[in-house]
């Protein structure tokens, strides 16, 4: 561990096999893993090409959905090792089951990385729905998650929905704000691009929770994307202002 404050591990046993993993990472984390080190192991019997395929699928739904600060380094590594000791063979018939288990372990580890982000006080889920396509959904969700203004607003417990729309609008993909609606958890703040007469006190209370989900409905299609991120605090600046390798 470097700036990690706690170790991160996860495991799952079912269907005659076990999958377990450990991970390290607290800063310089963005999709494509960035400065993250993780090793996942299983006792399943599985050929290397199928194992690689499973890892790529699981990573897309876990480690590549996390953002701490948007920065990345060059030493990220994710390893998946199979010993075969269980005697249970993974093939096309039970492949979906294996990927589901692997994804659950990887997602558990990925979420722990975000919760332990440098100086983090909030765990924030950015959920973009009804985008024109998967690429647009991912770009908008990722831009919101990386935005310093969005992240500092959450640190201050400020439900500043304008920050969300600002980030979505600069994501570099087509967006029609007159079709967009926004929620913080179950409280709707914006409908078709216009603010509703919502309870601002409750909105700020939701933004100040340890965990909050922001849902941005683009009203343009059927694609969606989820990114897990955290706030940007004074402590983050302090850690990185004094950090030397």
Position 239 scores a pLDDT of 84
In a domain, 223, yes or no: yes
Q: Are residues 141 and 94 part of one domain?
A: no
Q: Do 32 and 49 belong together in one domain?
A: yes
Count of structural domains, the chain: 2
Given 98, 115, 132, the domain boundary residue is 115
What is the reported pLDDT for 176? 96
Q: What is the pLDDT of residues 11-44, one digit of tens each?
A: 999 999 999 999 998 787 776 655 578 999 999 9
Residues 106 and 208 in one domain: no
Above pLDDT 70, what percent of the chain?
A: 98
β-sheet with 223-230: strand ranges across: 194-195, 187-191, 181-184, 211-217, 123-131, 223-230
What is the pLDDT confidence band of residue 243, given thresholds at 50, 70 and 90?
A: confident
126-149 pLDDT tens trace: 999 999 999 999 999 999 999 999
β-strands 223-230, 123-131 pairing? antiparallel
Residues 104, 129, single domain; the answer is: no
Clarify whether 35 is annotated catalytic.
Answer: yes
pLDDT at 167 over 90: yes
In the structure, what pLDDT confidence band is assigned to residue 241 with cuts at 50, 70 and 90? Answer: confident
- Give the C-alpha separation, 28 to 67, whole Å: 8
Among residues 3, 18, 35, 215, which one is catalytic? 35
Q: What does the alpha-carbon distance between residue 14 and residue 100 come to, in Å, rounded to a whole number?
A: 11
Token digits of residue 211: 């965990």
Give the domain CATH number at 143: 3.10.20.340
- Rounded to two decimals, what is the model's pTM? 0.91
Name the average pLDDT for the chain. 93
Q: Do 22 and 75 have their domain in common?
A: yes
Q: Same structural domain for residues 74 and 91?
A: yes
- Residue 47's pLDDT band, with cuts at 50, 70 and 90, is very high
Q: How confident is the model at residue 117 (pLDDT cuts 50, 70, 90)?
A: confident
Cα 228 to Cα 63: distance, rounded to the nearest angstrom: 10
In the predicted model, what is the mean pLDDT of residues 77-105? 97
Assigned domain for 3 exists: no
Domain residue limits at 192:
123-241
Say which CATH number the domain at 58 has: 3.60.70.12
Cβ contacts of residue 47 below 8 Å, gap of 6+?
A: none
Of 230, 33, 226, 210, the C-alpha closest to 126 is 226
pLDDT digits (tens, 9 = 90+) for 95-108: 999 999 999 999 99
The CA-atom distances, in angstroms, between 87 and each of 44, 97, 148, 200 are 7, 16, 49, 57
């Amino acid at each position: 561990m470097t700036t990690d404050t706690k170790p991160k591990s996860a495991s799952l046993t079912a269907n005659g096999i076990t999958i377990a993993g450990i991970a390290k990472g607290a800063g310089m984390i963005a999709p494509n893993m960035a400065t993250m080190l993780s090793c996942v192991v299983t006792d399943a019997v599985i050929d290397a090409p199928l194992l690689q395929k499973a890892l790529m699928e699981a990573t897309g739904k876990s480690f590549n959905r996390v953002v701490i600060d948007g920065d990345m380094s060059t030493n990220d590594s994710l390893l998946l090792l199979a010993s075969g000791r269980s005697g249970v063979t993974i093939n096309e018939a039970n492949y979906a089951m294996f990927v589901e288990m692997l994804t659950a372990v990887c997602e558990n580890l990925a979420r722990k990385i975000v919760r332990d982000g440098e100086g983090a006080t909030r765990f924030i889920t950015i959920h973009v729905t009804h985008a024109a396509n998967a690429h647009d959904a991912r770009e908008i969700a990722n831009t919101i998650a990386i935005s310093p203004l969005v992240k500092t607003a959450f640190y201050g417990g400020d439900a500043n929905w304008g920050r969300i729309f600002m980030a979505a609008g600069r994501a570099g993909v087509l967006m029609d704000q007159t079709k967009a609606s926004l929620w913080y958890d179950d409280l709707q703040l914006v409908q078709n691009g216009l603010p509703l007469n919502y309870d601002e006190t409750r909105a700020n209370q939701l933004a100040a929770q340890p965990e909050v989900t922001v849902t941005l409905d683009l009203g343009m299609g059927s694609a969606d994307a989820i990114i897990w991120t955290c706030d940007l605090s004074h402590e983050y600046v302090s850690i990185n202002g004094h950090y030397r390798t």
